[in-house]
Amino acid sequence: MNIRVLVGILIGVGVLLLAFGVYLVVRTTSNVPGTTANNANTVNAASTPNDIQTITFDARNGGWRSIGNGPFTVSASGIIDYGGEKATPDNSPRMGDKTAPLAGVPFGVLIGRVGNGKPIKVGSFYRFDTTETVYLAINDSDYSDNSGSYTITIKK
């Protein structure tokens, strides 16, 4: 086989692989709009072709917010400020008291519930094995002095 033909074939294959890679990147990122909370009880999420949703969970919006019907996994990251103290989805320096939705769990952590069930700690990762509506909240009793947000990823 002529060396020029071989080089031409290799260049052609390389161009095709590059074009396919660009196609995949554009396909998975072009339909992911920003997300916003409609109100204290509902969150609109951006959906991707792989059933992954990402929402921004603002620490100033109090109360329970529906994130849809399971089953799915929830992962969370970020840092919020609640009344001058920092929290992650998993922990904070101050334990929640009876004024918090989930007493005995640190203030500022991510909590959830299924339907009207009892609150549970969600933290940075939790698997909801249910077909009922799942709600999330930040474990706090005064949301007016909060700032920051958690990034929540929901994967079906």
pLDDT in tens, 88-116: 999 999 999 999 999 999 999 999 999 99
Query: Average model confidence (pLDDT) for the chain?
Result: 80
| Torsion over CA: 69, 72, 78, 84 (sign) | positive
Q: What is the dihedral of CA 130, 57, 102, 126, to 10 degrees?
A: 40
Reported as a single tens digit per residue, the pLDDT across 20-44 is 444 443 333 333 333 333 333 334 4
Q: What is the pLDDT of residue 6?
A: 57
Percent of the chain topping pLDDT 90:
67
Gap between the Cα atoms of 57 and 74, Å rounded: 12
> Cβ distance 101 to 109 under 8 Å?
no
pTM of the model: 0.69
In percent, how much of the chain has pLDDT > 70?
70
The values of phi and psi at residue 6, to 5°, are -60, -45
- 15-22 own/partner pairs: CB under 8 Å, 24+ apart: none
For the ranges 19-28, 80-89, 133-142, the lowest mean pLDDT is seen at: 19-28
